[in-house]
Every structure is written in C-alpha cells, then in structure tokens.
Amino acid sequence: MMVRHQLKSRGIRDTRLLEAMGNVPRHVFVPREYVDQAYADGPLPIGGGQTISQPFMVAWMTELLTLTGQEKILEVGTGSGYQAAILSLLADRIFSIERSRELAAQARERLRWLGYGNVEVIEGDGSQGYPEGAPYDGIIVTAGAPDIPRPLLEQLAEVGRLVIPVGGSGMQMLVLAQRRGDEFPTRELGSCAFVPLLGRYGWSGRGDGRSRGGRL
C-alpha cells in the first residue's frame, strides 16, 4: 500500500529502494501511540520535538544518492533510525550521527535488535560531519540547514553526493551537491520542511539564529 500509493505513484522508480521501503518495519520506529499511523503519508513525532520523516521524503532523498550497494554513507540526524535502516539495505556501510543522546541510544538499540548490522550510530554534532569515517560516497542530512556545512562537502569522496535541505528554519529547498574535484555543483530539487539542523555549522543551539556555514 505505502509503496504503491505514496512512492511509485509519485515517481520513485529504483526497484531496490522500493523493495527496501516495503521490507523495513516502519511501525517499529514510531512511538507506541502512533503505531496505527506508522505507514501513513506524513511525518510523525518521535519525542523531544523531533520527527520520523514522511516515507516519500525518505525515498526521494535516498533515490538521489543513486546507491548500488557498494557505498559508504553518512546520515546526519539518526532520529528514530528508520532512514538508516533503509540505507542499510542499499549500501555497504552506514554511519549515522545524532545529537540527542536519548534518540541515538534508542535508535542504536532498535537497529541492533532488528539486525541492521552495517549501521554505526554515533552521538555527536553531525553539522561537522564525522571525519573518522570519511570520505563518504553519499551524505544525507535529515534536518534543515541554514547553509551547506563546509565540512560535509569536504568529507565527500570524488563524485560523492550530498543531499540536504537548505533554507529557513520552517521551509527549505532540497539540494543535491556532487563533488567534482574541488568543485561542488549543486541542484535545487524542490521544497521540503524539516526540523532544524542544530550545531556548529547548523542553526545555533542557543536559538539566536546565527550559523557558521558558508553558502556556496
């Protein structure tokens, strides 16, 4: 149902991705009180003002990474761990970084319990990337940034892809950047609405709206 009505009907074509979206048990990633809405066409609260993203948004951003199964991927914003579980079925190795200690611990345990063994959940500020695992063939940011954080571009492998919502704290533009040597050509793909990316290269955690990112 979800795959046919929400994903195929909106143009998601990657058959491996559609299969992964059909296989990952989304209801395990949502709080108990939302289990009956787990496969609905929207984001859901996961506590602490954070959300598990709409299934279509997960699929769209994942498809933009053009995964073949060989890649090393960084996800910024683990949240529930659902996006990481999808990536785990489509790429070789996943690093997923989350600033909330509680969410990181819950997602780590959930992913371990479900057997997604190629995902490493790290607690930290993902606006700075995760240099320990770099370079990455793909980086996916599941929170809205004021600008593209420079460290994320620097941690991309050659022809590596970065998918990131960029814009205001309410609405953003989904941006795809690809490394070509020292150049990072970008494409704007459509609007989206994510919770803010906090941290050093995101929206300031102090709520004063300042960021230290550099717009390309």
Q: Which residue, 56 or 194, has its beta carbon nearer to ligand SAM?
A: 194
How many residues would you count in the chain? 216
The beta-strand segments (E) located in 68-179 are 72-76, 93-98, 119-123, 136-141, 156-167, 172-178
Q: Which residues are catalytic?
A: 53
Q: Under the criterion CB under 6 A, does residue 119 sit at the interface with ligand SAM? A: no
Q: Does 129 bind ligand SAM (CB under 6 A)?
A: no
52: contact with ligand SAM by CB under 6 A = yes
138 in contact with ligand SAM (CB under 6 A): no
For ligand SAM, the closer of residues 47 and 185 by Cβ is 47
CB atoms within 10 A of CB 113: 9
Task: Report the sign of the C-alpha dihedral through residues 216, 205, 58, 67, in that order.
Answer: positive
Cα(101)–Cα(83) distance, integer angstroms: 18
| Position 95, amino acid | F
Least distance (Å) from ligand SAM to the CB of residue 183?
26
Taking residues 3 to 32 in sequence order and writing x for each that binds ligand SAM by CB under 6 A, - otherwise, the string is ------------------------------
What amino acid is encoded at 108 in this protein? R
Interface with ligand SAM (CB under 6 A), residue from 146, 165, 167, 202: 202
Question: Does residue 51 touch ligand SAM according to CB under 6 A?
Answer: yes
Cα separation, 36 vs 48, whole angstroms: 20
Q: Which residue stretches of 91-149 are H helix? A: 101-114
Q: Which of residues 69-98 bind ligand SAM (CB under 6 A)?
A: 76-77, 79-80, 82-83, 97-98
- Of 72 and 96, CB closest to ligand SAM: 96
Query: Dihedrals φ, ψ of 54, to 5°?
Result: -55, 140
Positions in the binding site for ligand SAM (CB under 6 A): 50-53, 76-77, 79-80, 82-83, 97-100, 103, 125-127, 142-143, 194-195, 197-199, 202
